[in-house]
């Protein structure tokens, strides 16, 4: 996935400014982004504050850690099951 040149905090700030009146076209021209990008940002970050964004980041990191932990345990389980199914 391509890395955005705008940070999430900048995106939330821009969306906050949008709620105060400027047109989407003006914001997109100023940031040099496509309208679709702006609407994707709006769908993902609309109504978020800085604390909400920090909480989202921490939850995403925890989710990634738990997924990795589950994958490791599932692999260990499969290996142990394979070892136990063989007759000595």
Q: What is the pLDDT of residues 7-61, one digit of tens each?
A: 888 888 888 888 888 899 998 999 899 999 999 988 888 877 878 888 988 999 9
Whole-angstrom CA distances from 78 to 35, 41, 59, 62, 68 are 48, 41, 28, 24, 15
CB-CB neighbours of 16 under 10 Å: 13
Average pLDDT estimate for 67-76? 97
Q: Are 1 and 44 in the same domain?
A: yes
Given this model, what pLDDT does residue 15 score? Answer: 87
Q: Are 65 and 24 in the same domain?
A: no
C-alpha–C-alpha distance, residues 4 and 8, integer Å: 9
Q: How confident is the model at residue 3 (pLDDT cuts 50, 70, 90)?
A: low
Total structural domains in the chain?
2
Q: Which domain holds residue 61?
A: 50-88
CB-CB neighbours of 12 under 10 Å: 19
């Amino acid at each position: 996935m391509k890395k955005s040149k705008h940070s999430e905090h900048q995106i939330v700030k821009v969306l906050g400014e949008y709620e105060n009146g400027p047109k989407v076209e003006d914001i997109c021209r100023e940031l040099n982004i496509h309208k679709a990008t702006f609407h994707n940002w709006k769908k993902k970050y609309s109504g978020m504050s800085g604390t909400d964004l920090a909480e989202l980041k921490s939850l995403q990191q925890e989710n990634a850690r738990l997924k990795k932990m589950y994958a490791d345990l599932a692999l260990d389980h499969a290996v142990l099951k394979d070892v136990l199914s063989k007759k000595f």
